[in-house]
Amino acid sequence: MKTGVSYFGNRILRHAAADMRQLAVDGFSYVCHTYSENDMLFYHRTMKEIAHITRDTGLEFYADPWGVGKVFGGEAFSNFIACNLDCLQILSDDKPAGQACPMNPHFRRFMVEWIEKALELEPNHIFWDEPHFSLSSWIGGREGQWGCRCNVCKGHFHDRFGHDMPVERTPEVNAYLEWAIRDFLAFVIGETKSRGGNNCLCLLPHDEGEQGAVADWEEFAKIPGLDILSTDPYFELQKKPIGHVEKYGRIVRDLAAKYGIESELWFQGFRVDSGREHLQGEAIDIGADLGVSRMAVWGVDACDHMGWIRPDDPKRLWMVMTERLRAAKSR
């Protein structure tokens, strides 16, 4: 079993070097580095150096398309959407959203550019982070609306179902959106694999009936070129019982075993209220009992440095999570 942690918010090499050394001492096996559009444009050389430092410290390196096109999770903004207003998702109110459409051919060409730059960092894996169509509860989403109803999506929908795409979110719309995001992922995963890269896919663990819920995880697990099936059941954030971890941990573990790939679970090292830190330790124990291949915490130092998601007691949360991950790893 390998343990990991995400790292973001610092591009100063001497600090990154000290942090990587500490993460190795803390017992981690890998570090998921965000590689946003901002990094791609302005920090590419620096990121190559950070990648080198990470591997030199004996840690595996993930590259995460953090917020790229706002199709992926992450707090980073997207320059692509600002410069390509004709590639935006169109929501059910017929207005554009601040999010690229994964079915748009121009956005896909941009993703190939991103992949080629990310692979220059020589990552062990590309971490496909929470790919999604517009979600009304996320930044940039709009209450009661869904996407995408752009012309590309309308065309694909008509090809599949033989009639125009409705404005209401029907079961056919849900089936289309799930097929479309999978088609996009098969594209980026295939493009990565064909260039010699490895792929980790982290799907959002939305329950049935919730926006963005995956109806058939197996169809994602069998995408050619996938190496790790991952998910991030942040039960505190989603105000769900801790059983959320076991439910989705079983899904990724069993499907990974079936398709001969690795499984991964992420744990919530952010926005945890005081007095509830121990629950993250219990969640890690659940993952260890399930026997998933990889367990990771988002993010470094329990996100003490990012005020927006800083937990009440970052030091305590970080201590609980690193101790339990070490214990899980040494089982």
Nearer to Zn ion, 153 or 251 (CB): 153
Indicate which single residue of 31, 101, 115, 189 sits in contact with Zn ion (rule: CB under 5 A).
101
Nearer to Zn ion, 70 or 125 (CB): 70
> What's the chain look like in SS3?
CEEEEEECCCCCHHHHHHHHHHHHHCCCCEEEEECCHHHHHHCHHHHHHHHHHHHHCCCEEEEECCCHHHCCCCCCCCHHHHHCHHHEEEECCCCEEEEECCCCHHHHHHHHHHHHHHHCCCCCEEEEECCCCCCCCCCCCCCCCCECCCHHHHHHHHHHHCCCCCCCCCHHHHHHHHHHHHHHHHHHHHHHHHCCCCEEEEECCCCCCCCCCCCCHHHHHCCCCCCEEEECCCCCCCCCCCHHHHHHHHHHHHHHHHHCCEEEEEEECCCCCCCCHHHHHHHHHHHHHHCCCEEEEECHHHHCCCHHHCCCCHHHHHHHHHHHHHHHHCC
Region of 7-15, 103-111, 181-189, 254-262 interacting with Zn ion (CB under 5 A): 103-111
Cβ 151 to Zn ion shortest distance, Å: 8
Nearer to Zn ion, 115 or 148 (CB): 148
Region of 27-35, 142-150, 217-225, 231-239 interacting with Zn ion (CB under 5 A): 142-150
Cβ 317 to Zn ion shortest distance, Å: 39
Does position 150 bind Zn ion by CB under 5 A?
Answer: yes
Cβ 171 to Zn ion shortest distance, Å: 19
Cβ 96 to Zn ion shortest distance, Å: 10
Nearer to Zn ion, 174 or 238 (CB): 174
Cβ 204 to Zn ion shortest distance, Å: 19
Does position 153 bind Zn ion by CB under 5 A?
Answer: yes
Nearer to Zn ion, 34 or 89 (CB): 89
Cβ 259 to Zn ion shortest distance, Å: 29
Does position 148 bind Zn ion by CB under 5 A?
Answer: yes
Which residues bind to Zn ion, rule: CB under 5 A? 101, 103, 148, 150, 153
